[in-house]
Amino acid sequence: AESVSQLDDQVTVTEGDPLTVKCTYSFSGTPYLFWYVQYPNQGLQFLLKYIAGDNLVKGSFGFMAEFNKSQMSFHLKKPSALGSDSAVYFCAGRDTVVGLLGELNTNPQVQ
Ligand SMILES: *[C@@H]1O[C@H](CO)[C@@H](O)[C@H](O)[C@H]1NC(C)=O
């Protein structure tokens, strides 16, 4: 079956540190991959997608994701996390949304 998987239920990073939310897929063919974010008390917002072309995809709010065919991964990354990045992030493949990928807690108190 085609699916995407979350590797971590929750990720905690310090504000200013790099943020990675992991996603792997198990599609036999070329996958279509999507990242969405849900900020507190808001609806789902589209961040970025991979369909073809460049492996490194840039999206909204300073996020990017790198498609890695040999690793079958599409991890979401941001060089420097903000407190406002605390949200629920969803990875989706083709038209199958598997659900919660990662719940990110940043700690704006640190430093
Ligand atoms: C995929 O990931 C592997 C292991 O991290 C890395 O060696 C390789 O360069 C990556 N490939 C691409 C296309 O980024």
Residue with token string 């790099």: 18
Indicate which residue's Cα is closest to atom 14 of ligand 1. 68
Q: Report strand pairing: 96-107 vs 10-14.
A: parallel
Structure-block tokens of residue 96 = 């199958």
Distance 109 CA to ligand 1 centre (A): 34
Query: Which tens digit of pLDDT belongs to each residue from 48-79?
Result: 999 888 999 999 999 999 999 899 899 999 99
State the Cα–Cα distance between residues 107 and 4, nearest whole angstrom. Answer: 28
Distance 71 CA to ligand 1 centre (A): 7
For residues 3-32, average pLDDT: 81
Q: In what order do the strands lie in the sheet with 44-50?
A: 10-14, 96-107, 87-93, 33-38, 44-50
Sketch out the chain's domains with CATH numbers.
Answer: 3-106 (2.60.40.10)
pLDDT band, residue 102 (cuts 50/70/90): very low
Comparing 32 with 102, the larger pLDDT belongs to: 32
Indicate which residue's Cα is closest to atom 12 of ligand 1. 68
pLDDT band, residue 6 (cuts 50/70/90): low
Comparing 30 with 81, the larger pLDDT belongs to: 81
Indicate which residue's Cα is closest to atom 9 of ligand 1. 68
CB 18 within 8 A of CB 77: yes
pLDDT at 20 over 80: yes
CB burial readout 77-110, b (16+ within 10 A) else e: ebeebeeebbbbbbbbbeeeebeebbbbebeeee
pLDDT of res. 26: 81
pLDDT band, residue 107 (cuts 50/70/90): very low
